[in-house]
Structures are given as structure tokens and as C-alpha cells.
């Protein structure tokens, strides 16, 4: 390339600016509330259309919802009359009147303190186990997984020898049975799931084969069929004098079902533990069970806490299905009471469903938040 | 001194402490216990079945069922056998599962993308949907749709009319019914011919692009083949397919295709529930593709569309497919909740009515579970095959 011809130094270039211009203020739509608004709601044509459509949808739905839930709702009533009026909203009076039934169903009124005690003790133990700051988790676990089931069983079923009359399981129902089924599932499924997961990774072919067959079989069939099977086939498998109680049968079904799902969760954790951990444990001379108990499982289980909690959420939702074998869980109690001729009416049923949904939502959402919190807490040590 | 022992023959271990021997003993014990349990259960079962007069064979299969089923895909009457009732139930299960899977996938992908949208309203709406639906039991939702939404619909004479000749009332949804004339088969056949031709064309175009770099308008040509051929056949043959619109005659509709509220509730419930889970899977899958991938694609000059199609989605699919498979299986298994809304699926018909009428609990439950196991295994085999094709090819 040729050199550009030299210009006369005495003649300055008039078209070259030698002082910087004033900086302009940033465009009004790039900062502040307006920009935030634009960025989040109207960043392009599609986004604007969607925003308008979504707001239109909300305007269409929300006022009706608020009116149904609060403004037109019937807050107090002696029977379903005010709720049957055309245009009446949610029938909260129905919930207020029936909440005791939703809680205990037909459990003898004088004995309901037993249910309350069991629930409170259980809640305390759960808090002990889940609250990261509390000490002596080992003792808490021992109490929750071994002592509590025995304690709860004695208290709920009754033991005439110590002055607790029997409470027939056909009277049990409501929230308390829902929590009972969930607790049994959780208490049983965690240890059984760990054993099955260990079995699936075992080097003993028969143990491995049996674990795989059990896990895959249970995971391959719907929960309802497991319940059906527990209900119709368990009584056939045992001699007539051993026929399990009608509440016990679905509990066995729940326990087996959740154990298989838990096993897969735990197996995921076991597989994530590097081989060096196993080798290190063996090198210091630990035998299989000590290696698992002291080195592998604590790490593996912590890794899969979110998955385990997700399983519990699924289990909690699945407890509703026991209604198919005639167990009166919370949802079944709500459903049955909304057909009560005194209250019967379209808004009563809807109210019952909304109430039930809120109940399940609180529990499941709480569990999922807890799992997120634990996940973040456990990941904190790994973040750089 | 100690070093001398190393490399010498292994120290003698008491057989009590030899892991291999212990393993054999333990397994033998386990097997023995299991065999004993099975033998005991078998003896008890046959004893119990004999005393209760429960059939122990499969002869009930060919007996007359004697009950009616509302919603059948194949002709069935109360005079048919239990065996035919089984097929009716199985087909209903498969129908609901297939329809549910297609719709839930579609809704789930839309929601998953909405969940990632930078538009706050859309994002939060999708989040609210996912959280509410995932944290309430499916059964509650099904009962809500069926008892609180579909049952209180007006009776046929006050039906809610939707555009396109669709009517909504407490007997279900009534669609216009396609009527097939004598030559309608050709139109349907042309659709398949078009689809086959489109696949051939796409394969050819792909090969040519790899060889020469020339691109071909695959999407346009495929659409033309798949839609155009049947449409041309439709008009050439003198419109052999017509829609018969539902008409109100007296108290009910005639001429339409009626989908009963039970099936509507079941499909609606399954789709809405499963879509929430699929949305989360899709979101996780897209988020798993690092930003660098799309930035690199932009740097190469790809526009937003091709970036999504060629770079982000193929990588996201690898993460999405395995959990998506288990959601499909969950949907299929959850279709057994049909029993709660009275839709005659396999469980309701076979494990419910047939079991109650014949009492053959063991046989009926075994067949039912085998069917679900087969469905599960076949679905996961298919999805594994698809996954293997999409999986990252590494060294």
C-alpha cells in the first residue's frame, strides 16, 4: 500500500473534532422503572402480545376467584341452605362445621387425645430430625424409626391392660390416617430402600437378582394394583387366623411400594460415591456393614436428600389412593361429608376440594421448599 | 521381617471369615427362606381358595361376563366373555395413555419454555401452574374435574356451544363426526403415502447436504406432501369424507361423536398433572445447555431459530429424554386412577368388576400386573432406543 500523501501541517483538518462532545444522558428506556418494565414485559412483539394476553386472562379469572373464595363466600351457617343460594361462593361454614370429622373421622371422641398425642410427638421428632441445628440426630433417628412406631401403635390401637381401650381401625380416618399412612411409608421405606439398594449393588448374584426383580416389578405396576393386591391377595397368602387387619393391608402395600422407589433413589447416591471411598474404607480394615454405615451411606444419603424428599412428596400425594380399598383418608372424608344431605350442594363439594387441595399443597410445598433449602445448604460447601 | 510375609501364600483364614463362603451361606439361607415362604403362601392360598370356592384356573376367561361397559372401542355387550371385557379395558387404557402422552408432551414443552421466558407475567403464571399442580394429589384433581367441573355442566338442551360445532354438556363433549364415504380409504392412504414420501425426501436432502452442502426446502416439501396429497385426493375423488355435525333432537344430540365426561375428566386430569412435571424436565434440560453454546452459535452467525433447532434443542433432548420416559410411564400407570371416575380402563373393568364377579383374585391380579409390566418394559425399551440414537457420541 502506498504511503498516504503528507498534508500541510499548517492547515488543520477542519472536519476532525479535537474536543470530546458532552456525554448524552442514557436513553430514558434503558434505566429505571420504565426500562425494567420494558425488559420484563414488552421486550419484543411476541412478549408484548403474551403479556397482554396473560393480563387479560388474569383479569378474566381473578375477580371471579376472589368473589367465589372471599366476597360471596358463606362464612357461617347452620346447614347447607345459604350455600345453595344461586350465586353463593365457597361454603367455609361447611369446613368450620366438619373440621373435626376431617381430622379424626369416627375415632371415638373421648379417645381423640391419643391421636393428638401421637401426632404431636411425631411432629416433634420430625422437627428434631429435619432442623439442621439440633444435636443428637442419631438418637432422634433411633426414636423416630424404632421407638415411635411402637409407641404410636400402642397409643392408637389401644392396650386394655394399661387402661387404653381398643379403637377399632374401621373407625379410623381423616387427616390422621393420611398422616399415618405417610409416616408408615416413610419409616419403613427408608431402611428397606437402603437394604434393597445395597442388594441391587451386591456382588452376590442371588441377592442382586431378587432385589432387581422386586424393584423393577413394583416400579412397573401402578400403585392401585399394588393396593388391590395387598387387599385381595394378602388374606389368601396366610392362614385364616392370621388375616391382616383391613387397615394393615394397604399399609403393607404402601410400605413395599415406597421401598422400591426409595431403593432407586438411594442407588443413585451409592453410584455417585467415588470408588476411592470404598477402597479407603476397606484399606483401614472396615468390614462391609461398617464401611456402609460409617463411610458410604452418610455420604450417599446426603447426596440424594432432594430425591428422597421428592419421593416423600409423591408418597404423601399417593396416600389418597387408599380410598380404593375402603380406607377413609382425608380426601375420602371430605368427599363423603360433602354428600351429607344437610350440606349437599355444588359449592360445598368445590369448597371441600379447595380445602383439601390447600391441605396437600401446604405439606407438599413445605417439603419441596425444605428439599431446596437442604440442597442449597449442602451445596454451599462445594461452591468455590 | 514383615516384608517376607508379603507375596507369600495367603494366610489361612477360618472359613467362618471367608467372604466368599459367607456369601454362599447367606444366599443359600435367603433362598431357603424365600422358597419356604413361597411354598407356605402357595399352600395357604390353595387351601383358602378351595374353602372359599374361588376358581384356581383360567376357565373364567371364556365365561359370559354379564355386565355392560359404557365406553368401548370394540363392539362389546353383556353377552360377551370376560376375555373380551379384558380387551375392552386394555384398549381404553392404551387409548387414554396415548392421547394423554401426546397432549401432555405438547403442554409440558409450552409450559417449560414459558417457565424460562424473560417475560415476568408468563414466567410467574407458568410457575404458579407448576407449583399448584405438582403439589396436589392427582386423585384430587381428577375428582375436581369430574365432580366439580364436568358433572354440573348443563343438560343437553342447554349445552354450551363452542365454535366449530362442538357442544359441551353433562353427557360429555360432542364433536362433529367424520363420515367416511366409499372412497375415503384412498384419502387416508394418500396421507400415509405422503408421509412416506416426505421421509424419503428428507433422507435424500440430508445426504445431499452432507455431500454437496446444498440445502433443500425440506419442511415446505414435506408439508406439501403430507397435507397436499390427501387434499388433492379428497377433491379428485369428490369429497368422500364429510363431517356430520351434532344436532339437538329431543333431549339429546344425534350425529356427533360423543366423548363421555369420564374419559374427558381422565385425559384432562392426566394431561394437566403430567404436563407440570414435563415442564420442569424441559426447563432443567434447556438450562443444562450452557450459555456458551448459544453464544458460540450466535458468534458463528446463526440466527435465533437455527440456534435453538441445531444447537440448544439437540443437546437439551439428551437431558430431557430419560426423565421424560419415566413421566410417560407414570402417566400410563396413573391412568389406572380411572377407577375413581368410573372410566372403564383395565383396572376398573378387569381388576374391579371381573375380579369381583369371578373371585379369581390371583389370576386377575397377575394378568393385570403383567400387562402394566409389559407396557412399562416396551415403553422404556423404545425410549432407550431413541435415547441411544440421540446420546452424545464420544470417543
B 106-135: CB under 8 A from A: 117-122, 125, 131-132, 134-135
Q: Which residue of A has its CA nearest to B356?
A: A232
pLDDT digits (tens, 9 = 90+) for A127-171: 898 888 888 888 888 898 889 999 988 888 888 888 888 888 888
* Rounded (10°) angle between helices A175-200 and A112-130: 40
Predicted confidence at residue B337, as pLDDT, reads: 94
The 3-state secondary structure of B310-367, one letter per residue: HHHHHHHHHHHHHHHHHHHHHHHHHHHHHHHHCCCCHHHHHHHHHHHHHCCHHHHHHH
Q: How does pLDDT run across B84-93, given as a tens digit for each residue?
A: 999 999 999 9
| Euclidean distance between CA atoms A341 and A350, whole angstroms | 16
DSSP A32: H
Q: Do B30 and A47 touch (CB under 8 A)?
A: no
Q: What integer pLDDT is reported at residue A28 of this predicted model?
A: 65
pLDDT at B2: 47
Please tell me the least confidently modeled range out of A73-87, A173-187, B27-41, B339-353.
A73-87
Interface contact flag, B119 A229, Cβ < 8 Å: no
pLDDT number for residue A5 = 53
Please give the torsion angle defined by the CA atoms of residues A268, A274, A279 and A284, in that order, rounded to the nearest 10 degrees.
Answer: -90
CB-nearest partner of B131 from A235, A331, A365 = A365
With contacts defined as CB-CB under 8 Å, which chain B residues touch A212? none
A49, A220, A375: best to mutate for the B interface, most B CBs within 10 A: A220
DSSP string, A276-337: HHHHHHHHTT--HHHIIIIIIHHHHHHHTHHHHHHHHHHHHHHGGGGGGGT--BHHHHHHHH
Cβ burial of A276 (10 Å; 0-12, 13-18, 19+) is exposed
CATH fold, domain A92-380, is: MetI-like fold (1.10.3720)
Strands B172-180 and B256-259, by their bridges, are antiparallel
Query: Inter-chain contact A239–B122, Cβ cutoff 8 Å?
Result: no
CA distance A212 to chain B (A): 14
Contact B377 A220 (CB under 8 A): yes
pTM > 0.90: yes or no: no
Residue B126: pLDDT band by 50, 70, 90 thresholds? very high
What does the pLDDT read at residue B71? 83
- Can you name the residues that pair with B179 across neighbouring β-strands? B242
Using the predicted structure, report yes or no on whether residue B1 has a pLDDT greater than 50.
no
Distance CA B159, CA B161 (A): 6
**More confident site: B334 or B155:** B334
DSSP secondary structure string, A106-139?
Answer: TS-GGGHHHHHHHHHHHHHHHHHHH-TT-S-HHH
Cβ atoms within 10 Å of B199's Cβ, excluding its own: 13
Q: Do A240 and B48 touch (CB under 8 A)?
A: yes
Residue B391 has pLDDT above 80, yes or no: no
Pick from A222, A243, A311 the residue to mutate for testing the B interface (most B CBs within 10 Å).
A222
From first CA to last CA, the distance across chain B in angstroms is 48
Q: With CB atoms and an 8 Å threshold, state whether B139 touches A320.
A: yes
Give the residue carrying C-alpha cell 412397573: A220
Nearest to A322 by CA among A255, A223, A221: A223
Cβ distance B337 to A321 less than 8 Å, yes or no, reads yes
DSSP assignment of A215-256 equals HHHHHHS-HHHHHHHHHHTHHHHS-GGGPPPTTHHHHHHHHH
Q: B70 CB near a chain A CB, below 8 Å?
A: no
The answer to whether the CB atoms of A207 and B27 lie below 8 A apart is yes
| Residue numbers in chain A where pLDDT is lower than 50 | 1-2
Residues of B within 8 A of A51 (CB-CB) are 119, 121-122
Q: How confident is the model at residue B29 (pLDDT cuts 50, 70, 90)?
A: very high
The residue ranges of DSSP E strands in B66-222, in sequence order, are 160-162, 166-169, 172-180
List the beta bridge partners of residue B167. Answer: B161, B174
Higher-pLDDT residue of B36 and B59 is B36
Query: Is the Cβ–Cβ distance between B126 and B279 less than 8 Å?
Result: yes
B203 at the A interface (CB within 8 A)?
no
Interface test with B, best of A236, A307, A324, A355 (most B CBs within 10 A): A236
Angstrom distance (rounded) from CA A267 to CA B319: 19
Residue window 218-247, chain B: list those with CB within 8 Å of chain A: none
Across-strand partners of B174?
A: B167, B258
Counted across chains A and B, CB pairs separated by less than 8 A come out at: 155
Of B117, B347, B365, the CB nearest to A232: B365
Q: What is the mean pLDDT of residues B40-54?
A: 86
Nearest by CB to B136, from A223, A349, A361: name it.
A361
The topology under which CATH files domain B82-157+262-390 is MetI-like fold (1.10.3720)
Contact B119 A40 (CB under 8 A): yes
Q: How far is B179 from chain A (nearest CA, A)?
A: 37
The pLDDT assigned to B163 comes to: 83
Amino acid at each position: 500500500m502506498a504511503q498516504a500523501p503528507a498534508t500541510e501541517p499548517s492547515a488543520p483538518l477542519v472536519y476532525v473534532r479535537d474536543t470530546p462532545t458532552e456525554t448524552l444522558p442514557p436513553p430514558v428506556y434503558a434505566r429505571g422503572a420504565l426500562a425494567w418494565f420494558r425488559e420484563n414485559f414488552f421486550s419484543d412483539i411476541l412478549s408484548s402480545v403474551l403479556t397482554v394476553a396473560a393480563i387479560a386472562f388474569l383479569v378474566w379469572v381473578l375477580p371471579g376467584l376472589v368473589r367465589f373464595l372471599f366476597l360471596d363466600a358463606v362464612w357461617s351457617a347452620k346447614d347447607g341452605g345459604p350455600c345453595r343460594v344461586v350465586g353463593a361462593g365457597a361454603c367455609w361454614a361447611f369446613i368450620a362445621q366438619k373440621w373435626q370429622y376431617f381430622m379424626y373421622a369416627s375415632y371415638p371422641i373421648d379417645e381423640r387425645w391419643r391421636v393428638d398425642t401421637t401426632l404431636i410427638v411425631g411432629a416433634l421428632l420430625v422437627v428434631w430430625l429435619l432442623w439442621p441445628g439440633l444435636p443428637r440426630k442419631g438418637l432422634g433417628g433411633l426414636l423416630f424409626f424404632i421407638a415411635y412406631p411402637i409407641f404410636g401403635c400402642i397409643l392408637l390401637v389401644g392396650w386394655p391392660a394399661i387402661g387404653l381401650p381398643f379403637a377399632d381401625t374401621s373407625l379410623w380416618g381423616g387427616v390422621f390416617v393420611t398422616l399415618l399412612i405417610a409416616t408408615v411409608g416413610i419409616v419403613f421405606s427408608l431402611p428397606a430402600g437402603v437394604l434393597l439398594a445395597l442388594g441391587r449393588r451386591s456382588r452376590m448374584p442371588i441377592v442382586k437378582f431378587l432385589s432387581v426383580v422386586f424393584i423393577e416389578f413394583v416400579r412397573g405396576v401402578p400403585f392401585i394394583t399394588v393396593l388391590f393386591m395387598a387387599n385381595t391377595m394378602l388374606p389368601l397368602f396366610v392362614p385364616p387366623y392370621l388375616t391382616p387387619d383391613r387397615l394393615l393391608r394397604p399399609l403393607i402395600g404402601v410400605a413395599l411400594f415406597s421401598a422400591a422407589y426409595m431403593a432407586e433413589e438411594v442407588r443413585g447416591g451409592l453410584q455417585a460415591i467415588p470408588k476411592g471411598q470404598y477402597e479407603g474404607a476397606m484399606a483401614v480394615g472396615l468390614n462391609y456393614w461398617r464401611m456402609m454405615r460409617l463411610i458410604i451411606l452418610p455420604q450417599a444419603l446426603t447426596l440424594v436428600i432432594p430425591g428422597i424428599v421428592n419421593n416423600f412428596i409423591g408418597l404423601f400425594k399417593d396416600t389418597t389412593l387408599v380410598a380404593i380399598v375402603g380406607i377413609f383418608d382425608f380426601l375420602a372424608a371430605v368427599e363423603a361429608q360433602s354428600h351429607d344431605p344437610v350440606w349437599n350442594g355444588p359449592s360445598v363439594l368445590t369448597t371441600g376440594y379447595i380445602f383439601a387441595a390447600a391441605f396437600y399443597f401446604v405439606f407438599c410445598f413445605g417439603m419441596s421448599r425444605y428439599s431446596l433449602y437442604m440442597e442449597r445448604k449442602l451445596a454451599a460447601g462445594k461452591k468455590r | 521381617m514383615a516384608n517376607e510375609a508379603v507375596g507369600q501364600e495367603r494366610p489361612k483364614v477360618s472359613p467362618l471369615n471367608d467372604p466368599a463362603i459367607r456369601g454362599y451361606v447367606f444366599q443359600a439361607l435367603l433362598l431357603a427362606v424365600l422358597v419356604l415362604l413361597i411354598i407356605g403362601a402357595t399352600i395357604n392360598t390353595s387351601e383358602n381358595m378351595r374353602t372359599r370356592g374361588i376358581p384356581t384356573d383360567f376357565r373364567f376367561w371364556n365365561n359370559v361376563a354379564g355386565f355392560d361397559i359404557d365406553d368401548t372401542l370394540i363392539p362389546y355387550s353383556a353377552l360377551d366373555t370376560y376375555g373380551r371385557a379384558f380387551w375392552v379395558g386394555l384398549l381404553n387404557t392404551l387409548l387414554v395413555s396415548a392421547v394423554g402422552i401426546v397432549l401432555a408432551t405438547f403442554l409440558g414443552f409450552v409450559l417449560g419454555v414459558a417457565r424460562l421466558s424473560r417475560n415476568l407475567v408468563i414466567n410467574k403464571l407458568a410457575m404458579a401452574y407448576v407449583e399448584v399442580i405438582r403439589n396436589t394429589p392427582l386423585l384430587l384433581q381428577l375428582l375436581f374435574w369430574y365432580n366439580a367441573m364436568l358433572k354440573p355442566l348443563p343438560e343437553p338442551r342447554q349445552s354450551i356451544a363452542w365454535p366449530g360445532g362442538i357442544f359441551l354438556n353433562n353427557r360429555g363433549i360432542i364433536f362433529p363426526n367424520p363420515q367416511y364415504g366409499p372412497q375415503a380409504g384412498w384419502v387416508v392412504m394418500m396421507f400415509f403415502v405422503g408421509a412416506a414420501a416426505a421421509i424419503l425426501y428428507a433422507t435424500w436432502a440430508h445426504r445431499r447436504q452432507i455431500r454437496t452442502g446444498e440445502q433443500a426446502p425440506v419442511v415446505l416439501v414435506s408439508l406439501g406432501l403430507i397435507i397436499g396429497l390427501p387434499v388433492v385426493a379428497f377433491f379428485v375423488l369428490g369429497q368422500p369424507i364429510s363431517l356430520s355435525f351434532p344436532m339437538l333432537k329431543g333431549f339429546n344430540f344425534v350425529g356427533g361423536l360423543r366423548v363421555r365426561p369420564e374419559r374427558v375428566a381422565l385425559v384432562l386430569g392426566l394431561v394437566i398433572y403430567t404436563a407440570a412435571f414435563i415442564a420442569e424436565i424441559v426447563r432443567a434440560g434447556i438450562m443444562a445447555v450452557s450459555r456458551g453454546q448459544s453464544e458460540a452459535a450466535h458468534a458463528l452467525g446463526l440466527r435465533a431459530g437455527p440456534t435453538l433447532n441445531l444447537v440448544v434443542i439437540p443437546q437439551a433432548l439428551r437431558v430431557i429424554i430419560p426423565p421424560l420416559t419415566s413421566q410417560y410411564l407414570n402417566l400410563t400407570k396413573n391412568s389406572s386412577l380411572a377407577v375413581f371416575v368410573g372410566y372403564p380402563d383395565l383396572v376398573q373393568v378387569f381388576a374391579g368388576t371381573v375380579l369381583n364377579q369371578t373371585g379369581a383374585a390371583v389370576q386377575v391380579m397377575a394378568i393385570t400386573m403383567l400387562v402394566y409390566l409389559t407396557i412399562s418394559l416396551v415403553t422404556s425399551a423404545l425410549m432407550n432406543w431413541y435415547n441411544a440414537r440421540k446420546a452424545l457420541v464420544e470417543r
